[in-house]
Structure 1
């Protein structure tokens, strides 16, 4: 039997307010509708729920049994409706994010530190992985990606300018094997390959030439699926790494890595925050986005 929720709501209102008219006023409907709904419920249950006199209306034993079961349920339903109405409407609650590992180390990690200080009542849950995330299927609110990898049905907001790429090698590797002078020279080098976590494909090394973009099918005996590991292996002199310049800026500055083929490397679209349209008014998400944009502007100025 389907639950007669509408008539149960009328029943609960009569029991709480003590009359059909008072129940009608509380529900914003006509007294005749209340009377009709009550009769419909009693007919469906096959029992009388109220003993009526010209002066009063009182619960029968069956009515009291029904009231004991329905009152807590309606209270829970009311609380659930209020919770749904309030969720995402204040600077509190949980915000779940998909963050690529390189983006976390490049930008997001530092921004989270200051965000937590500014909004301690917002809980952050991070899914840190380079694999693409299905936000709705994984019950996530937003994600971070490069701008050319975002589905058209998502809202995307730019966080950073385009990102430069770099090919880096340790000074020891450069001393022993030299550095490539042009992209095809990579075929004679040990290159640290990156395998995408989602597709399992080896990431191509992209270059720009007079005829446009092209890729070189690099070779190497080391393959990883995280960018921090690839940079660390290059730093140890085990091969060339292809990554974001900002990701290893400190290594380049202090000489732990030396760059190669800079004139052939493209730039990539900047990092974007993306999210389903249904979450565009979610307060914790809006605050997080504003904070990231502020942090990005600060980094640009410095």
Structure 2
């Protein structure tokens, strides 16, 4: 056991986490053949198979699962301790990984984080677009961004944007051809642009509220997209009705390119929060945290 190198275990943990030699190699910055050889050598020294390989995937064997669950947290702790020591450097450095949906990345995170790229050249910011409820600990993200009501209780959460509304909009041209709906129930007679969540597969139901009553409506239409920016363009070009965050469409409403309908059914809700695990944070992450705190919750 004492002859087993820590680097070999780190490679095994990376493959076990990614479920793929190529992705693990990309994460480690080495070739897939080097990763495969390292894992094979580790298995030979241990005398047990750790991974089951197929043409499409790599899965952990029973022995591999036991080793992975024991070793992965320890290596993560080592990384955290090394990062803590690195905080004594003169300048903050390292990579900060954040997962968020498309709207949050473009309109909330990017404006605040872009200045850091010049101010802190030794910090790398990785922004991953994801509509799902990512397990940021398992996926080794430093933080995630989601609306306030869908954050796990064991996370630290900080508001980074004001309350928001989902607004139903259409172009003036579309409304000239189709009478504006007066209630959400009338959407069944309209052409609507649906959003298919990339990480969940299903069509996202439209959300409405009036007083204490909140409900969702399944809509139909000629167009399904997996990007709110694509849906915005479709609405501007008169394809149909769309439901989008108010921050995304406000400029188009002000210019008259879009018209809001069903406003009385659009209730404000808690806006975006940054959430992260309660553990020792690196100096680089604290720089990002401070940038996102600035002017976070002005309504």
Query: TM exceeds 0.5?
Result: yes
How far does residue 223 in structure 1 lie from its aligned partner after superposition?
Answer: 1.1
Distance across 1 between alignment mates of 2:237 and 2:116? 34
Alignment of 1:216-255 (within 5 A): 216-255=217-256
Q: Which residue of 2 aligns with 1:290?
A: 290
* SS of residue in 1 equivalent to 2:92: coil
- Contact 1:206–1:266 (8 Å) recurs in 2: no
Q: Is the 8 A contact 2:194 2:223 kept in 1?
A: yes
TM-superposed CA distance for 1:283, in Å, is 1.8
Q: Distance in 2 between matches of 1:133 and 1:121?
A: 27
* 2:209 and 2:267 in contact (8 A); partners too: yes
Per-residue CA shift, 1:236-294, capped at 9, x if unaligned?
10011101111111111111111001111122321111111124x32222221111121
Residues 35-73 of structure 1: CA deviation (Å, up to 9, x unaligned): xxxxxxxxxxxxxxxxxxxxxxxxxxxxxxxxxxxxxxx
Q: Distance in 2 between matches of 1:150 and 1:81?
A: 23
Quick check: 1:111–1:295 contact (8 Å CA) kept in 2? no
Q: CA deviation at 1:189?
A: 0.4
Structure 1 position 106, deviation (Å):
2.1
| Mean Cα deviation higher: 268-277 or 83-92 | 83-92
Corresponding residue for 1:128? 129
Structure-2 change in CA distance of 1:160 and 1:210 (3 Å): closer
| Number of positions where the alignment pairs a residue of Structure 1 with one of Structure 2 | 224
CA contact (8 A) 2:108 2:161 kept: no
Q: Summarize the alignment of residues 11-50 of structure 1 with structure 2, pairs less than 5 Å apart.
A: none
Change (3 A) 1:171 1:272: same
**Are 2:47 and 1:86 equivalent residues in the alignment?**
no
Q: Is the 8 A contact 1:130 1:226 kept in 2?
A: no
Contact 2:98-2:143 within 8 A present in 1 as well = yes
Indicate the structure (1 or 2) with the bigger Cα radius of gyration: 1
Pairs within 5 Å for 1:97-112: 97-112=98-113
Alpha-carbon distance in structure 1 between the residues aligned to 2:80 and 2:258: 57
3-state SS in 2 of match to 1:104:
helix
Whole-angstrom distance in 1 between the partners of 2:237 and 2:255: 14
Shift of 1:4: 11
SS of equivalent residue, structure 2 residue 165: strand
Q: Unmatched 5+ residue regions in structure 1?
A: 6-79
1:143 aligns with 2:144: yes
Deviation at 1:132, TM superposition (A): 2.9
